[in-house]
Amino acid sequence: MKEPDGAAAPRPALREHGEAFLRHLADERQLSPHTVTAYRRDLADLEEFLTGYYGTPDWEWLHVDRLTLRSFLGWGRRKGLARRTLARKLSAVRSFFRFLHRDGILDRNPTRAMRAPRKEHRLPAHIRARGVEALFELAEARAQENSLKGARTLVALELLYGSGLRLGELHGLNLETLDLVGDQVKVKGKGQKDRIVPLTRAAVTAIRRYLPRREETGAEPDRGPVLVNQSGGRLSRRSIQRMVQELLESCGEDGQVSVHSLRHSFATHLLDAGADLMAVKELLGHASLSTTQIYTHTSKERLKKVYRDAHPRP
């Protein structure tokens, strides 16, 4: 039987204190449901490892020491997990043990002196300017058909690339946050932090063209989700991914390019055109400038390639 659109996979049940920790993340730290789900998976992996490591399901959190957690990372490496994934899992485990220590459940934190695996320095995948042009030409041609799907896909593209939104931010966007007169949108980013992001004129035009198709679904005309399905409900993350990925593949983009690559392209192209790094940081909603600086490396790598290919003395 086919899973209904947007249906969530069954959540793994966690041991004592695990669910309390997840409630802390959702209610006190106000992390997104997607992030909380990722923490749940990471803790479930740790519990699976510990049951095998101790040879019994009757272990306690106070049994876990630094050596055991290093063995957990080794277990992940043997399963073929990337260093970036292992670093994320260790970050989740650290947060959990800080929670246990802070609440007096443990008298020590075994993760305190642990170092994360060194991350690979992978440059983010992005689409070249010509590829973006081809992508929008196709999306605009489909939007001319005046169907819900065609108009909606162009809006998604304009917001992902034109304003640099994350997939989760686009998914959660409501009509009340759009200012089509002031050409801006209020976005709720990571950690439930709000930021104001400009809208391109092309995005405003695409949204105005889409709104009549949206109303035909029965969705409320002045409020509720921006991107809706045929029944007027909020379009699922998975549907947005499928919709945009199909467009990317139709334009001949390879499998390394994803929906998130549009956000990477937004940042890279702004910096290539001389945009200020601090301004790009604010537009992306990054908490740290170091996160934004990876895009300067992308630009430098491209400059090096141009230099190598074009300089008369190789």
- Please list the active-site residues: 166, 190, 260, 263, 286, 295
Residue type, 264: H
DSSP-H helix ranges across the chain: 18-23, 33-54, 66-78, 83-102, 129-143, 148-162, 167-171, 201-215, 237-250, 260-272, 277-284, 289-292, 294-310
| Torsion angle in degrees (nearest 10) through CA of 13, 15, 21, 22 | 0
What does the chain come to in residues? 314
Q: Residue 283: name the closest of 195, 210, 175, 212 by CA.
A: 195
Distance in angstroms (rounded) separating the CA atoms of residues 107 and 124:
41
Sheet of 184-188: strand order equals 178-179, 184-188, 194-198
Decide the pairing of beta strands 178-179 and 184-188: antiparallel
Non-local CB neighbours of 182 within 8 Å, separated by 6+ positions: none
